């Protein structure tokens, strides 16, 4: 339902109460999912959302709507839900539409925490902001990689702007170097920081196989060899 205002707190409380009561009872998922997600398995942002949903025990509450956005060919159905015409976009049970992926991961995390889950983000303090910054960094790397891919795959060769491509790839390169340098601080566990990083590295393997990111980032390479085997990562691999 496009154009709907965001849910008032009371309406959100209904969603949270529903989650909390079913989790507290220890019951299986309700028969029907109550959220819908504009989804494509190739999207690293969708992957982050779904990997978080799996870890939070919410994936079976989400119905996937296969949605392939093409930047030069507006998907009217998607644009009706998200004016930016990008995926992921989550339609909640009261018809509110949430985007972008960072808003969705925060929403799912809050919902699970309301139901008794420990969550994927520290509850407060600088530790919380560091994890949210980490997610923002990974999203920024992905933004740069995704638009560069559009430029390389879709734009006629004679119209490509090499300096612009180099600037985008510079963001990705610096971001990877930061992830490598800070690895000891965030590498443990399955949380928002590690999932976000896994989605970046998985996207590099998927779309930038010739970049050989492992050569300059041996620590990240060793970490990802393990982390990519996490069930939530295996279940959300492109094409899975």
Ligand X SMILES: N[C@@H](CCC(=O)N[C@@H](CS)C(=O)NCC(=O)O)C(=O)O
Residue selected from 39, 45, 107, 227 as contacting ligand X according to rule CB under 6 A: 45
What would the DSSP string read from start to end of 82-108?
-TT--S-EEE-TTS-EE-SHHHHHHHH
92 binds ligand X (CB under 6 A): no
Residue selected from 47, 139, 207, 227 as contacting ligand X according to rule CB under 6 A: 139
Alpha-carbon distances of 62 from 28, 39, 133, 173, 193, rounded to whole Å: 14, 10, 26, 34, 22
146 binds ligand X (CB under 6 A): yes
Q: How many residues does the chain have?
A: 240
Residues numbered 70-89 forming contacts with ligand X, rule: CB under 6 A: 71, 85-88
Shortest CB 97 distance to ligand X, Å: 12
Backbone angles phi, psi at 18, to 5 degrees: -60, -45
213 binds ligand X (CB under 6 A): no
Per-residue x/- marks for ligand X, 221-240, CB under 6 A?
Answer: --------------------
202 binds ligand X (CB under 6 A): no
> Which residue is associated with the tokens 């620590």?
219
Smaller CB separation from ligand X, 67 or 115: 67
Shortest CB 22 distance to ligand X, Å: 28
69 binds ligand X (CB under 6 A): yes
Rounded distance, CA 135 to CA 27, Å?
31
- Contact by Cβ (8 Å): 16, 109: no
**Strands across the sheet containing 89-91:** 62-66, 35-39, 89-91, 97-98
Residue selected from 43, 92, 96, 105 as contacting ligand X according to rule CB under 6 A: 43
Cα–Cα–Cα angle for 65, 69, 71, nearest 5°? 165
**Residues near ligand X, by CB under 6 A:** 43, 45, 69, 71, 85-88, 100-102, 139, 143, 146
């Amino acid at each position: 339902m496009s154009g709907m205002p965001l849910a008032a707190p009371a309406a959100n409380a209904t969603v949270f109460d529903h989650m909390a009561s079913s989790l507290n009872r220890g019951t299986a998922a309700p028969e029907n999912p109550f959220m819908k997600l504009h989804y494509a398995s190739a999207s690293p942002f969708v992957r982050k959302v779904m990997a978080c949903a799996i870890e939070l025990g919410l994936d079976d509450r989400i119905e996937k709507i296969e949605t392939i956005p093409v930047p030069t060919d507006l998907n009217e159905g998607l644009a009706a839900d998200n004016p930016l015409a990008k995926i992921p976009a989550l339609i909640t049970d009261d018809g509110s539409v949430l985007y972008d992926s960072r808003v969705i991961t925060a929403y799912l995390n809050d919902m699970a925490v309301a139901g008794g889950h420990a969550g994927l983000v520290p509850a407060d303090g600088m530790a919380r902001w560091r994890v949210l910054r980490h997610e923002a960094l990974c999203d920024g790397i992905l933004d740069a990689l995704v638009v560069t891919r559009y430029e390389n795959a879709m734009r006629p060769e004679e119209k490509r702007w090499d300096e612009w491509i180099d600037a985008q790839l510079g963001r990705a390169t610096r971001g990877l170097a930061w992830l490598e340098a800070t690895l000891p601080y965030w590498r443990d566990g399955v949380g928002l920081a590690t999932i976000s990083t896994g989605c970046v590295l998985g996207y590099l393997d998927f779309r930038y196989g010739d970049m050989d990111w492992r050569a300059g980032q041996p620590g990240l390479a060793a970490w990802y060899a393990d982390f990519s085997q996490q069930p939530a990562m295996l279940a959300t691999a492109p094409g899975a």
